Structure 1
Amino acid sequence: MPIELGVWKINEKVEKIHFSSIETERKLEDVIADDISIIDPSLMLIGRQISTAFGKFIDILAMNAEGNLVVIELKRNKTPREVVAQTLDYASWVQQLDYTDIIRIYSDKNPGKQLEQEFVDHFKTDFPDALNELHELIIVSAELDPSTERIINYLTTFGVPVNALFFHYFKDGDNEYLARNWLIDPNQVEAKASSVTSKKTGKAPWNGKDYYVSLGDGIHRNWEDCRRYGFISAGQGRWYSNTLNLLKPGARIFACIPKVGYVGVGIVADEVVPIKDFQVLVEGENKPLLEADLQVSMDKDVDDPDLCEYVVRVDWIKTLPKHEAIWEKGMFANQNSACKLRNQFTIERLIEHFQLDEE
């Protein structure tokens, strides 16, 4: 069961705000297509109303930073269980799309634009060598009937990458709001699907919780500041900072200083924010990080959203000084500021070195 969401207005008196159904399915589609980060900030819109080979239309097709496709099916009101079968039918078509098919679909839906260029501009990372190695399915609705919920939970048990996202709509005067929550933690769905499909892709499965963080210790940030004030950061360009959006509260990160080694393990406490919005506890008082006693100045380009430093709060489990960094031949390293850590050898060795208790 998804967590029930309640919202109250607390001005002169406490007043519960009641949810209602959004007027039309098309309006919900318009909202999501206009800003797909409402579903997930790590998605890029490929197109809407995508025609399949069997005469049906996918409401919204998206892509993630790994080049995998995401099918999004919208239902304004209570979802009949038949929509799961419909979404799986779309998946049977999507899984057959190759590089040329995807490029064509994008060009048809975005005249004058090239997917390769737009991908690099959007994700601030290199275009992947392969597209559509995996795919995800998301059913968006106001609520699910019990049978649909049971079916989705059953499918995910066997690694089918399907999930449901609930949008609650309400109005307060002239203002309109959307609130969302997932049926299943998306990381759990991906982890189960990854374990099933790893043989097909040749990639190691992801455990759904561990991330690698590359921390450039130097003139823009200092590892000792990160240890002291509980954060990791990246900046000087969206290419460097954008992947920090992958890090959600509850994720476990292993911080690595390039060409030095791993220096810390911790749990993400808050989502990424620009450095000027990040506060830390100094002598019992919350203060902006930029006003803290830092080893290096971090205020360069602070008002430029493309070049400024972006910061993620971390509850460190264990950290090491730079000169005690952990590194062994065969350990994972990557140029991205953050990415999923799939390398089992690295995880096992770091668990041992940091003396982590694994359940």
Structure 2
Amino acid sequence: MPIEMGVWRLDGATPRRLPAGRLPTEAELETFLEQDSSLLGQQLLVIGRQVRTPQGKWIDLLAMDYEGNLHVLELKRDRTPREVVAQILDYGSWVSTLDRDSVLEIANTHFAATRADLEFEQAFTEIFEAPAPDELNEETTMTIVATSLDDSSERIVTYLREFGVPINAVFFSYLEDDERRYLARSWMASEASSSAPASSRRASKRAEWNGRDWFVTFGDGDHRDWEDARRYGFVSAGGGEWYSRTLRSLPVGARIFVHIPKHGYVGVGVTIGEAIAFSEAEVESDGQRVPLCKQPLAADYEHSDQKPSLDADLAEYVVPVRWETTVPKSEAYWVKGMFANQNSAGKLRQEFTLERLLSHFGIEDE
């Protein structure tokens, strides 16, 4: 049965139903959704409007969620014919094949036409307050936007959802009350009512890695000091197996870009040795190898009441580095949209971040 939505205004003890009007135009509803995707009940970043497919068709809106998954939004005014179901499935089948580069091309073309001051990574961070994930378009969701669905279309959508096809319909009613206009929304089915769609993970949907560059998160504070790291040539992490595990995975010869949380990137260097416990680490001083823990350090590099810690999981681990360039924390470099996360180390894949770091620190890539 088609879903009908009503809104009543209470004038004293007498309810008065607001009359439903016709949505002015699809273009106006597109604009509403592009300006405020929360109308759909979920924050989305619109990365394309009237996106042309290879078949010469046009997708009304293409959007992305916090996890980097794509959403095909197809708008149809008034009652939606059953043909729109076949149409959105056609669009979804094409969108699901888009690799990362194709997604970025669509997004940056859209932003160049609408907000020339933004690139995709910056727009993503502006909406979600987090950097874009390495993998984009692992899953594709299709949403029909309409005022109602005919019985046949509703039956088809329900049937597809039972088999885990990520398709749904959202209904908007356009209501008028004197000179005020309202949009009311209702979903045909809750997200919990369908099986989880199968992942369409493909290697091409992940940013390629150049095999060399890594990021390192350096938690500057009481237990770790960036000026120590600059002076003696190292990066470190510890206080738990989760914190040190990724740092210990750094290979010798890796080029690392060091990031201090809430500040920015502060240095570039090359690892010259494997990770070792702080208590056993050595550094070069006056041409000799000396214990790092015996040097005049600003931080204690301890995470236990026992000094040195007898718990290997709590120990601070050190990776020796030959610095190419470093700056004080006060001169850290950061641009909205750059990549960073809480892991102590990881592969740096994001081209947006890498290009800006190389330029800022004056490094010519080979």
Band of TM-score, shorter chain: 0.5 to 0.7
Alignment of 1:79-94 (within 5 A): 79-94=80-95
Alignment of 1:266-277 (within 5 A): none
1:16 aligns with 2:17: yes
Structure 1 position 124, deviation (Å): 1.2
Alignment of 1:83-122 (within 5 A): 83-111=84-112, 112=116, 113-122=118-127
1:158 aligns with 2:171: no
Which residue identity lines up with residue 168 of structure 1 in the other structure? S
Structure 1 position 201, deviation (Å): 6.9
1:193 aligns with 2:187: no
Which residue identity lines up with residue 145 of structure 2 in the other structure? V
**Which residue matches 1:7?**
7
Structure 1 position 187, deviation (Å): 3.5
**Is the contact made by 2:2 and 2:154 (CA closer than 8 Å) also made in structure 1?**
no
Deviations 1:245-266 (A, max 9, x none): xxxxxxxxxxxxxx9xxxxxxx
1:77 aligns with 2:82: no
Equivalent-residue separation in structure 1 for 2:201 and 2:109 (angstroms): 29
Which residue identity lines up with residue 97 of structure 1 in the other structure? L
Structure 1 position 44, deviation (Å): 1.0
1:123 aligns with 2:96: no
**Is the contact made by 2:3 and 2:148 (CA closer than 8 Å) also made in structure 1?**
no
2:139 to 110, 134, 150: 134
Equivalent-residue separation in structure 2 for 1:182 and 1:104 (angstroms): 31
1:144 aligns with 2:149: yes
Count of matched residue positions in the alignment of Structure 1 and Structure 2:
204
1:41 aligns with 2:46: no
RCO higher in structure (CA 8 A, sep ≥6): 2
Alpha carbons of 1:120 and 1:2: their partners in 2 closer, same or farther (altered >3 Å)? Answer: farther
Specify every segment of 5 or more residues in structure 1 that has no aligned partner in the other structure, as ranges.
Answer: 203-258, 260-333, 336-359
Structure 1 position 3, deviation (Å): 5.8
Equivalent-residue separation in structure 2 for 1:146 and 1:135 (angstroms): 25
SS at match of 2:34: helix
**Which residue matches 1:64?**
65
Structure 1 position 103, deviation (Å): 0.9
Equivalent-residue separation in structure 2 for 1:16 and 1:183 (angstroms): 22
Specify every segment of 5 or more residues in structure 2 that has no aligned partner in the other structure, as ranges.
Answer: 204-239, 241-340, 343-366
**Comparing 9-18 and 157-166, the one that deviates more:** 9-18
Structure 1 position 199, deviation (Å): 7.8
Equivalent-residue separation in structure 2 for 1:10 and 1:42 (angstroms): 31
Equivalent-residue separation in structure 2 for 1:199 and 1:23 (angstroms): 37
Which residue identity lines up with residue 122 of structure 2 in the other structure? Q
Which residue identity lines up with residue 137 of structure 1 in the other structure? M
Deviations 1:120-156 (A, max 9, x none): 2211123211000101000011110000000000101
Which residue identity lines up with residue 144 of structure 1 in the other structure? L
Which residue identity lines up with residue 103 of structure 1 in the other structure? L
Which residue identity lines up with residue 7 of structure 1 in the other structure? V
**Is the contact made by 2:138 and 2:200 (CA closer than 8 Å) also made in structure 1?**
no
**Which residue matches 2:176?**
171
Which residue identity lines up with residue 87 of structure 1 in the other structure? I
Which residue identity lines up with residue 55 of structure 1 in the other structure? G
Alpha carbons of 1:171 and 1:55: their partners in 2 closer, same or farther (altered >3 Å)? Answer: same
Deviations 1:251-298 (A, max 9, x none): xxxxxxxx9xxxxxxxxxxxxxxxxxxxxxxxxxxxxxxxxxxxxxxx
Equivalent-residue separation in structure 1 for 2:45 and 2:58 (angstroms): 19
SS at match of 1:90: helix
**Is the contact made by 2:139 and 2:200 (CA closer than 8 Å) also made in structure 1?**
no
Alpha carbons of 1:53 and 1:199: their partners in 2 closer, same or farther (altered >3 Å)? Answer: closer
SS at match of 1:61: strand
SS at match of 1:23: coil
SS at match of 2:21: coil
Structure 1 position 4, deviation (Å): 4.2
Alignment of 1:309-324 (within 5 A): none
Equivalent-residue separation in structure 2 for 1:170 and 1:147 (angstroms): 26
Alpha carbons of 1:19 and 1:10: their partners in 2 closer, same or farther (altered >3 Å)? Answer: same
**Identical positions, percent:** 45
Deviations 1:311-352 (A, max 9, x none): xxxxxxxxxxxxxxxxxxxxxxx97xxxxxxxxxxxxxxxxx
**Is the contact made by 2:145 and 2:172 (CA closer than 8 Å) also made in structure 1?**
yes
Q: Which has the larger radius of gyration?
A: 2
TM-score (norm 2): 0.52
Equivalent-residue separation in structure 2 for 1:199 and 1:121 (angstroms): 27
**Is the contact made by 2:138 and 2:199 (CA closer than 8 Å) also made in structure 1?**
no
Equivalent-residue separation in structure 2 for 1:3 and 1:38 (angstroms): 18
Deviations 1:94-124 (A, max 9, x none): 0111111111111111113211121122111
